Amino acid sequence: MGNRLSRIYTRTGDDGSTGLGDGARVGKDSLRVEAYGTVDELNSAIGIVLAQQPLPDSVAAVLVQVQHELFDLGGELCLPPGTELVHDRDVERLERHLDGFNADLPPLKDFILPGGGAAAAHCHLARTICRRAERVLVALSREEPVRGECIRYLNRLSDLLFVLGRVLARAAGAGEVLWQHARRQHDAGG
C-alpha cells in the first residue's frame, strides 16, 4: 500500500507545482497534470451518476468497476513511463458492456439531447468530461509518451457512457429527448 496521508495539506504546491508519482515536480498547469486531473473529474462525475437512486444494478456494477479503472488510469498518468495499469482487456471489457447494453436499445435515427432524468443527464455530463479527458490525452501524447490503451479506454468509455445514458433515460421512464432538427426549417419559413 502507498503512503498514508496523515496530513492533507503539505504546502509543497504553494509555488504552483505538484509532485508526480515518482517525486518529480511539475507545474500544476502541465498537460500531464491536466490529463490526470480531468480523469479525476470524470471519476467524480461518475460518482454523481452512482448517487442517483435507484439505478439498475447492472449499470451501477459497471460504473463502480469503471471508477476503479479510472483510478488506475490516473495512476498510470502520474507515474513514470513504463508503468502499465490500463490494459487491452480493460478496453475489451468496456466493449462487451457496450454490446450488452446496446443490444436492448432501439436503433437511433436522430441525435438525442442530454436529459431523460437526473441519472441520464449526469451520465451525459460524464460522457462529455470523458471526451475532454480523451482530447487532453491525445494532446499530451504529442509531447510525452502515452500508451494507446489509455486513449482507447477513454474512447470506449465515452461510448459506453452514451449508451448508459440511454439506458438510464429508459429506466427512469423519462425517455430520450430527440433533437428536433426540422424545427430550424420550420422557424426559417415562418
Tens digit of pLDDT per residue, the chain (190 long)?
455 656 666 665 566 656 666 767 766 668 988 999 999 999 999 999 999 989 999 999 999 999 999 999 999 998 878 889 999 999 999 999 999 999 999 998 888 888 889 999 999 999 999 999 999 999 999 999 999 999 999 999 999 999 999 999 999 887 887 787 765 555 555 4
Residue 35 cell numbers, joined: 490529463
pLDDT score recorded for residue 11: 64
Domain ranges, ordered by start, for the chain = 26-176
Q: Which of 122, 99, 100 is nearest to 168 (CA)?
A: 122
- The domain 26-176 belongs to what CATH superfamily? Cobalamin adenosyltransferase-like (1.20.1200.10)
pLDDT score recorded for residue 1: 43
Residue 89 Cα distances to 28, 96, 142, 150, 165, angstroms: 32, 10, 25, 12, 23
Residue 179 has what DSSP assignment? -
Q: Which residues of 152-168 are buried (b: 16+ CB within 10 A; e: fewer)?
A: bbbbbbbbbbbbbbbbb
